[in-house]
Chains A and B, each alone.
Chain A
Amino acid sequence: MQQALLLLVICLTSAGAYLIGTRRWALPRDRVGRAIVGMFQVAGTAMAFFVLNVTIGLAVILLIRSRGIFVSVYLLNDTYLPILSVIQAVIFECWRGHRTAR
């Protein structure tokens, strides 16, 4: 029930955004597919940043441990790490997009 409600809300707001985009802002309908592919690219970049962040975090923790100081690996178990990885990816992709647009 909860999942169905979430999906319903997402579908309704997406349909609303599509209608406003096509009717009020005259956005081309055939660009929706490209926008989805662009979203996949940002998601992929975010995942790459996340894996990189975790790997470097683990390496730093193991380096500190090798010097006799105990640091828990669970320090990396933080909800903010994936969120910050997404922000990194959006900035990186915007930066790359600007270069291509020049």
Chain B
Amino acid sequence: MRDGLRIVGALGVALLLAVGFTPLPNTLSYWLAPSRELGPAGAIVVLGGGGVNERGELNGASLLSLLEGVDLYRRGLAPLLLVSGSPSGPRGTEVERRTDVSRECGIPREALLTISSARTTRDEALGTRALLDPLGIHRVILVTDGHAMGRAMAVFERAGFDVIPSYGVPVLEWGGTSEARLGVMRRVAIEAVARLYYRLAGYL
């Protein structure tokens, strides 16, 4: 028992040092990111990004992913922008705030679609299918946190979509502080657990 714990501990410490002081997390993150040339699609789908804060403002991640979607729309990559988000919030929901910001960024009302009841990536894929299937749209550009892209793409492909990641072809970044690399590794680990859960639940 003690020897086992010592071996596990030694491996854990070695991993911690490798994460902080080598490009291991960057390489893993790059390796797990799906890659596909960015091109025209029927719609840009911006997945929920963590909701709103207590003042009713979009949090940083949610706002960034929305702006990425708006930018793709303005570049003419798709005629529709579909935004999703957490259905609850202390002063308005993520979808409501995202709709407001999209309109302020010049997205026409008729080009904006919303999903306001989805709580998970799978719910978002099913909600997107319910909205886009009747319009005959099957190719979408997906906007989400880079680490979640692999799982999100797999779920959307399972729902019948041809999916392009919003970043197109990923770029391998070697740099970063030890803390930043630890953050990357943490998100990679969370995504690995989420992927395992989706596989066990039969969503992938």
Contact = CB atoms under 8 A, between A and B. Distances in A.
Interface of A: 2-3, 6-7, 37, 39-48, 54, 58, 70, 72-73, 77
A41 B1 CA distance: 10
A30 B32 CA distance: 45
Interface in B5-46: 5-10, 12-13, 20-21
B177 A2 contact: yes
Given A45-B5, A70-B119, A40 B194 contact: no
Contacts of A6: 20, 178
Q: Is the interface of B mostly helix, strand, loop or mixed?
A: helix
A44 B4 CA distance: 8
B16 to A, nearest CB: 9
B9 A73 contact: no
Contact of A44 (B6, B194, B197): B6
A40 B177 contact: no
Contacts of B5: 40-41, 44-45, 48
B122 to A, nearest CB: 12
B12 A3 contact: no
B190 interface: yes
B55 interface: no
Given A39-B9, A40-B9, A43-B12, A3 B2 contact: no
B7 A44 contact: yes
B178 A44 contact: no
A42 B8 CA distance: 10
Contacts of B194: 73
Nearest to B7: A44
A40 B119 contact: no
Contacts of A3: 20-21, 177-178
A2 B178 contact: yes
Given A44-B6, A54-B193, 6 more contacts: A6-B20, A37-B6, A42-B9, A43-B9, A44-B10, A46-B12
